[in-house]
Homo-oligomer: A and B are copies of this chain.
């Protein structure tokens, strides 16, 4: 079933597990995929930046799509960002044929002006076809491309297949408010807004009108609870749980070493066999691992799931 603008909850950014010889760890993919559903995810996003997509060969990417889509009942979004449209089209169409629910497209980092960004999405949609639901990835901290709310509105309105924003602007609370105002004023079609940045602002993002999270924080279950509590209007409880996890969320959100921290925790949780990444990759020093262990002990005082 293809994705539409009513998507909500937690679309987890799936990690790609490797074995110590850098081969793809298919057993851990199954285990992780099962866990994500049990943890309360409402969808999955694979082959994103944090999924080490640029480090995969084309055939590996397709194999992962096939495996995950075959394993889970959750809707699966596939990251198809690529330096060229030929590779993007190829991965997008094959993914949909395999049963993916939609694709995610990030802008290349050389785009600067509003028109460049809008033209890029127009060309991308022309390449992949306008029948594939797609997600805009708005992540200026890493991609260095800055999209105003007006640019996002124009892309949404120009392409009926645009059904979601991965909101990862930083800071970005006002952007959510502005986009929702466009919708309520009838100036923009309804879209789903799911937030990234490791969850660092998910407490308030939900209050600003986000539909949930799309990020890979190692406690997907806690993230799902925070999103659910906010959706139910239980503000204080949501913040209490969020605050308990914030020291670790913050630690995982460090550029460069964040993924190493995330994989370390996933490994401690027994979800992946090895925390190795393909190169180039940041690594954790023994001191950093000790820091994460200490943080887990502290989180566990409030959330027993962190007692590893």
Among residues of B, the one whose C-beta sits closest to the C-beta of A149 is B115
Distance A15 CA – B118 CA, assembled complex (angstroms): 28
Distance A208 CA – B291 CA, assembled complex (angstroms): 10
Given contact pairs A86-B55, A146-B112, A150-B115, A171 touches B255 in the complex (Cβ within 8 A): yes
Given contact pairs A114-B114, A146-B112, A246-B247, A174 touches B56 in the complex (Cβ within 8 A): no
Q: Taking the complex as formed, is A151 at the interface, i.e. its CB lies under 8 A from any CB of chain B?
A: yes
Q: Taking the complex as formed, is A250 at the interface, i.e. its CB lies under 8 A from any CB of chain B?
A: yes
Majority secondary structure, A binding face: helix
Contact with A113, one of B86, B114, B242 (Cβ below 8 angstroms): B114
Q: Taking the complex as formed, is A67 at the interface, i.e. its CB lies under 8 A from any CB of chain B?
A: no
Asked whether A298 lies within 8 Å of B171 as measured between CB atoms, the reply is no
Among residues of B, the one whose C-beta sits closest to the C-beta of A178 is B285
Copies per complex? Answer: 4
Interfacial residues of chain A within 18-51, with CB under 8 A of chain B in the complex: none
Q: Taking the complex as formed, is A68 at the interface, i.e. its CB lies under 8 A from any CB of chain B?
A: no
Asked whether A243 lies within 8 Å of B298 as measured between CB atoms, the reply is yes
Contact with A58, one of B58, B256, B288 (Cβ below 8 angstroms): B58
Q: What mask results when residues 48 to 81 of chain A are scored 1 for a CB within 8 Å of chain B, else 0?
A: 0000101111101000000000000000000000
Q: What mask results when residues 169 to 196 of chain A are scored 1 for a CB within 8 Å of chain B, else 0?
A: 0110110010000000000000000000
A184 to chain B, nearest CB (A): 15
Distance A116 CA – B279 CA, assembled complex (angstroms): 13
Chain B CB within 10 Å — which of A86, A114, A116 has the most? Answer: A86
A148 to chain B, nearest CB (A): 5
A260 to chain B, nearest CB (A): 11
Asked whether A298 lies within 8 Å of B239 as measured between CB atoms, the reply is yes
Q: Count of A residues near B, CB < 8 Å?
A: 59
Chain B CB within 10 Å — which of A90, A170, A291 has the most? Answer: A291
Contact with A57, one of B60, B87, B120, B127 (Cβ below 8 angstroms): B87
Residues of A bordering B, CB below 8 Å: 52, 54-58, 60, 83-87, 90, 109, 112-116, 119-120, 123, 126-127, 146-148, 150-151, 170-171, 173-174, 177, 200-201, 203-204, 207-208, 239, 242-243, 246-247, 250, 254-258, 278-280, 285, 287-288, 291, 298
What are 24 contact pairs spanning A and B, CB under 8 A?
A52-B84, A55-B83, A56-B87, A57-B90, A58-B87, A85-B278, A109-B109, A113-B113, A113-B146, A113-B148, A119-B280, A123-B280, A127-B279, A171-B256, A173-B291, A174-B257, A177-B287, A203-B247, A239-B247, A239-B298, A243-B243, A243-B246, A246-B247, A246-B250
Q: A85-B280, A86-B278, A120-B280 are in contact. List 18 more A-B contacts (CB 8 A).
A: A54-B84, A55-B86, A85-B278, A109-B109, A112-B146, A113-B113, A113-B147, A113-B148, A114-B148, A171-B257, A171-B258, A174-B257, A174-B288, A203-B247, A207-B291, A242-B247, A246-B247, A250-B250
